[in-house]
Amino acid sequence: MGTSTNNNDSSNDIPCSYIPVPDSLDAAGAMAEPRRQVKGLLVILCGLLVLFLLVAFNGSYRGSNNAHEQASLAAALTSIVDEKSTSSETVPSSSTWSRGVSAGVSEKSNWLFSSNNGEMYPWNNSMLSWQRTAFHFQPEKNWMNDPNGPLYYKGWYHFFYQYNPNAAVWGDIVWGHAISRDLIHWQHLPLAMVADQWYDKNGVWTGSATILPNGKIIMLYTGSTNESVQVQNLAYPADPSDPLLIDWVKYPSNPVLFPPPGIGATDFRDPTTAWLTSEGKWRITIGSKLNKTGIALVYDTLDFKTYEQIEGFLRAVPTTGMWECVDFFPVSKEVENGLNTSVNGAGVKHVMKVSLDDDRHDYYSIGSYDEKNVKFIPDDVDNDVGVGLRYDYGVFYASKTFFDDSKRRRVLWGWIGESDAEYADVAKGWASLQGIPRTVTLDTKTGSNLIQWPVEEVESLRLRSDEFKDLKAKPGSVVPIDVGTATQLDIVAEFEIEKEELEKATSESNVDYYSCESSGGAAHRGALGPFGLLVLADDGLSEYTPVYFYVIKGSDGNLKTSFCSDQSRSSVASDVVKKTFGSLVPVLEGEKFSVRILVDHSIVESFAQGGRTTVTSRVYPTRAIYGAARLFFFNNATAASVTASLKVWQMNSAFIRPYNPDQTN
């Protein structure tokens, strides 16, 4: 497939390309919430008058290229005002229906209503159809959540997932199954396992695959019994010679594990991939809790049918609550290759990851594995399991890794839920997707965090590319990036601040703290931020999603960089959750600010500094869709100009086909 490249080398400012951001961030302001008292009539009338003027103004703008009008439009629409206190930011408990907690699993439902007094946005079929992604994995219809038992077998990648075959909401959970040659193009297969036994009557829940040295596949999974007790079960392929693994057999003597004494009947789930000990036993860990302390129980087995519980816990951390979807694997300190799950010893660190039931985020810790004492010891207790680092600071949960022996890499899958109203999911007929699979390695430069990066196969979807060099954005400006339609993109960008401006700005500014979530998002202007890209924006900038860096100089004199994604202006719809996500990202001496962004309709996956910090967002624009989606470079800092260089690829769609027994070659 041919690729054309357009090089736009702009070493100087682009004439008439800047849309100044107003000096006062309150110039545009957020439209006041309508008052319900009779005495508010005057305000309503004024609002109608303003609306009339804005409509008239917008019409004149579209027919004019006058620079003054462009600046006025920016003043009216590009002020990114914090909406933390408005109804689009939070949903009161009275407006939601908890789906899953009563069954002993984490909250799996989406918001039924917005907190805007239950107001439903008038979604139409065109808007809802646009939300379906083009190159992320999704079932043909209905609900999906946790990734289960991913593996590579006889030339095929297998992906299993929690699936409701009956509706676009959580419930009736079975295992969906799909296969791929490259982790990008998929073919659906028949359901792998259904809820047909007393021990999984209320759900075939999350599990993991282990491939033994002789090639035999072991699948352990949690079943919710007819009495909603969580038990562990064994399954295996009916025909190991079948590379598609279509048929599965459940062990006749299931369950193989029941909740041990002291553990709640609904607090015992999600067995890990097994690893081999030096004594020749296989070892697994299962998530649980004791009061509010999250724990990982440990079991040894020789045959995966009978088990010995090991005294104590692999790790226990107070106040973290129930641990779901525990993952435990080694990473190399010396090479970028992934490691088989059983590897231990010199040159190896271990990663322990948990999904916290209480906040629905995935946390990881890097440390050492003491096999003899069966303990995980974190390198940094401040970044212990469940309290420190996260895989992703946005919408990303219940993740699971597997070792891809064919390419010697560890691959991470993560469930990306919805942030819209559940009635909208029912209307469109599907809910949730999986993130692009990521490779996971230790960051050998810092030694303190992981590197996550989209698998290389996603680059096969790249089509035409556009390259922009040395674009300059003055403080408070927005620069259009002409790539045409911006619905399916792979963006690689670098940003620089002149050393002199950096030193001057930092000498005049001392800020101890900046938080993506609570500091006002991209609206909060500082000497050195925010700056970055506006994705899924419309021409009039009534909708856009900033992905940006924010640099501060702390009282200790050191620069600290936050990497964030702000959804507060991503949609004019009132019934979607709009938050700002992000965290600190290490930027080492001599490094430029760098980001890679995958835009695929309603999902935006962002990887900062080579993948040290990642943020995934779900956004639901109503105007910046189809051919109206655009890309901009912005700099909302107050004291520094920013130079950007970008390469942007249009992305092809992946082939995700329904099951056809004649098309599995």
Mean pLDDT of the chain: 85
Classify residue 353 as exposed, middle or buried by CB count within 10 Å of its CB (0-12, 13-18, 19+).
buried
Secondary structure element (H or E) that encloses residue 426, with its range: helix 422-428
Cis ω before 586 (30° cut-off from 0): no
pLDDT for residue 659: 87
Integer Cα distance of 530 and 608 in angstroms: 14
Return the CATH fold of 141-454. Answer: Tachylectin-2; Chain A (2.115.10)
The tens digit of pLDDT for each residue in 190-225 reads 999 999 999 999 999 999 999 999 999 999 999 999
pLDDT of residue 157 exceeding 50: yes
pLDDT at 56: 39
How large is the angle between the packed helices 67-77 and 41-62, nearest 10 degrees?
Answer: 140
Q: What is the mean predicted confidence (pLDDT) over 138-155?
A: 96
pLDDT band of 41, cuts 50, 70, 90: very low
Helix (H) or strand (E) holding 374: none
Mean pLDDT throughout 9-33? Answer: 35
User: Residues 561, 609, 159, 650: is their CA dihedral positive or negative?
Assistant: positive
With a cut of 60, say whether residue 82 has pLDDT above it.
Answer: no
Residues of the chain with CATH 2.115.10.20: 141-454
Question: What DSSP assignment string belongs to 150-204?
Answer: EEEETTEEEEEEEEETT-SSS-S-EEEEEEESSSSSEEEEEEEE-S-SGGGTT-E
Residue 510 DSSP SS3:
coil
Quote the tokens at residue 171: 């419930």
Across 9-14, average pLDDT: 38
Q: Which CATH number fits domain 464-651: 2.60.120.560, 3.30.70.1400, 3.40.50.280, 3.40.50.170?
A: 2.60.120.560
**Under a CB-based contact definition with an 8 Å cutoff, are residues 639 and 497 in contact?**
no
Cα 448 to Cα 28: distance, rounded to the nearest angstrom: 42
pLDDT score of 632 more than 50: yes
Q: How many Cβ atoms from other residues are within 10 Å of residue 269's Cβ?
A: 28
Nearest Cα neighbor of 415 from 325, 351, 294 is: 325
Q: Where in the chain is the domain with CATH 2.60.120.560?
A: 464-651
In this prediction, residue 489 carries a pLDDT of 98
pLDDT tens, residue by residue, 392-438: 999 999 999 999 999 999 999 999 999 999 999 999 999 999 999 99
Catalytic-labelled residue, pool 82, 146, 392, 490: 146
Confidence of residue 36 (pLDDT cuts 50, 70, 90): very low
Per-residue model confidence (pLDDT) at position 556: 75
pLDDT band at 498 (very low <50, low <70, confident <90, very high): confident
Residue 146 known to be catalytic: yes
Give mean pLDDT, residues 529-542.
Answer: 97
